[in-house]
Amino acid sequence: MIPVAVLIFSASLWGLAWWPLKYFASQGLGGPMVALLTFGGLGLISLPLLVREFAQWRHCVPLFLLLTLVGGWGNTAYISALLAGDVVRVALLFYLAPVWGVVGGRIFLAERITMRRAGALVSALIGVFMVVGGASAFAAPLGWTDFLAVTAGLAFSANNIVARHAQAIPNASKTIALFLGCSLTSMALLSFQEGLGALALPELPTQVWWYLAAYAIGWLALATATWQWSVTRMEAGRSGVISIAELIVALLSAALIGGEVMDAWELAGAGLIAIAAVLAALEPAAKAGPASA
């Protein structure tokens, strides 16, 4: 149950991520730049640890590179979609992630889809559909932000699957892989959207720089490390369903902190999501390979 509790803690941090992100957006920072400044800084200061652990996973370089790619893109795309698009629409598309987690776990890791997990998945998806307004969320045509949200969900699920498979890579190295991946993918996204000139450091008040550093070290590093640690020790399908509890935290915090009001339909959907998370959390865990340090 410890990996379940850690994953729920990590999901809670990610569910609250909109709060500081809204502040950084008010300072003129877009999603790719926030990802570059925060995760990029974490990647730089973590490089000595990565070099020290290299001997432990030198035979797993392809897996490390894959983890860097999918983990980095998942975070960069999610932050960018959250700041650039409608939060409700982004949530609907991103929270298809449990589907990818269950299907991917079955295809790539031969994980069994139990009746309880299938029921949790159906409950979660119906709940998400209700929370974000049903079919009306698709009234507008699909666009660039939708692409970011969908691929972020895919990448998060792929990260869970690769992390589960790469047992020989220590958890610290997995976390640093994500930091480095965010640096690379955010630079690529910035260059694609605005050209190479967008990679220059923005002019910000000293206070904002301190807030970015605190957010990176005290929030993102903790959320990322606990996420990687927990999904390494849990079946991908199970972690995919449990992590949807992140949406519950996002909704409650938006109501309590942001002053947003949830109607009865949204509350019912949130209840279904909570039921799904409980069903998945209480399912007996399958045996995994040796856990990373």
150 and 80 Cβ atoms separated by less than 8 Å: no
Sign of CA dihedral 228, 78, 135, 258: positive
Classify residue 49 as exposed, middle or buried by CB count within 10 Å of its CB (0-12, 13-18, 19+). Answer: middle
Cα 11 to Cα 94: distance, rounded to the nearest angstrom: 14
Cα 218 to Cα 194: distance, rounded to the nearest angstrom: 30
Report the predicted TM-score, pTM, of the whole model to 2 decimal places: 0.77
Cα 149 to Cα 151: distance, rounded to the nearest angstrom: 6
| End-to-end C-alpha distance for the chain, whole angstroms | 18
Question: Which tens digits make up the pLDDT trace of 133-157?
Answer: 777 766 766 688 888 988 888 888 8
How many angstroms from the chain centroid is the CA of residue 183? Answer: 15
Question: Which tens digits make up the pLDDT trace of 261-273?
Answer: 767 887 787 788 7
Question: Which tens digits make up the pLDDT trace of 90-141?
Answer: 776 776 666 666 777 777 767 777 887 788 778 877 877 777 677 776 676 6
Give yes or no for residue 228 having a pLDDT over 70: yes
> 207 is written with which tokens?
């206070």
Question: Which tens digits make up the pLDDT trace of 28-77?
Answer: 898 899 999 999 899 999 999 999 999 999 999 999 999 999 999 998 99
Give yes or no for residue 288 having a pLDDT over 50: no
Judged by average pLDDT, the poorest of 78-82, 182-186, 267-271, 277-281 is 277-281
Q: Interhelix angle for 31-57 vs 171-194, to 10°?
A: 140
Sorting pLDDT into bands at 50, 70 and 90, what band is 239?
A: confident
One-letter-per-residue 3-state SS of 145-184: HHHHHHHHHHHHHHHHHHHHHCCCCCHHHHHHHHHHHHHH
> What are the two backbone dihedrals, phi and then psi, of residue 17, each rounded to the nearest 5 degrees?
-60, -25
171 and 225 Cβ atoms separated by less than 8 Å: yes
